[in-house]
Structure 1
């Protein structure tokens, strides 16, 4: 029993070391000023009412595919950020009429690497997205740059940013259990996603054809990950 405990604790320390060693700045294009963001205690996903609460749809696959208009679906459980500031700047120009804000946000373990998670099935690898499960607190925002009529101002630092909480925190990296592809998607028969799938034979005639779907609901997997996040960083959400 002691040996098993040591092994589990060792895995926890390894995970913690990995997260602490990969801290990065992430960016989000926005139309709203910081005062508005702060009134909601941070960036909320469309399906959220409070920071740290799991939304009805936490499928990362659904998130990256979005709605037909290119924005998030109404029950989306993630807040989009990118590791590429130039992409955030392009978003302000193309979708916000060259008037908006670029928020600089510190990484945290609830921020999932979409490319690492979805791999070849990510339809938009060029977006370099890190999707924040459970939202982004206002004290995780390092600062913001306002853009007026295409002209960037000077970055304003957030006086409420808590470097003591986030300063050494990395991202959540790859989380294949959060991919949540549709039932019978090809990915369910491939590693690493097959580990989180359950498959049954479609019929007695179809010996080699299987129907595959997630072993748990995407909300269950999301809650599991947020429990892990809270263990690593109790004040992150």
Structure 2
């Protein structure tokens, strides 16, 4: 039996619920204990060494660009809503906890519909963690990884490791990764960002072009409707 393939042409990896939970846990642990504190310390140091650093002068923030992986979009407990797999007692308890009145005779589908009507605004664990360090989270549009500069870095990193990996040992692969990271200079990073900005501008131009066509089509429809009304009035007279 052939293994199903993903859109990228690679075999699909089916993770168990436990594996997904572990990835979420490790990701949020990394964000909380390593990434955000490091960025916070870096910003503080920059402001000390460079008083005119743009973040202070323009009141801008450090931001983290992320994609739409499930562990990037895990909701906080306060913003989670009932699932269809919940039983009636669990849904009732959720409604009680959120001060939503209901009738005991409601069916499960009616309770679910009521919970959706009173669903709180979505809050993500990633965003709440970043707020503690005054860091902003920017989410890319779905299926638009081309707008993320890190994707080019991953591509070059994997190519470098693939070309130099001769032992296929994990420790040696780790050394190759660190060698590439240590040699990754600001010029390469700037080129990645410039490359993404070109695509961003192309997307903006495409959006403007589509909006222009839509406006022209709407104008044509309005003219046709006005003409029809005029003809109807002439016939009535």
**TM-score (normalizing by structure 1):** 0.22
Radius of gyration: which is bigger? 2
Q: Which of 1 and 2 has higher RCO (CA within 8 Å, sep 6+)?
A: 1
Q: Give 1 or 2: higher helix fraction.
A: 2
Q: Give 1 or 2: higher strand fraction.
A: 1
**TM-score (normalizing by structure 2):** 0.22
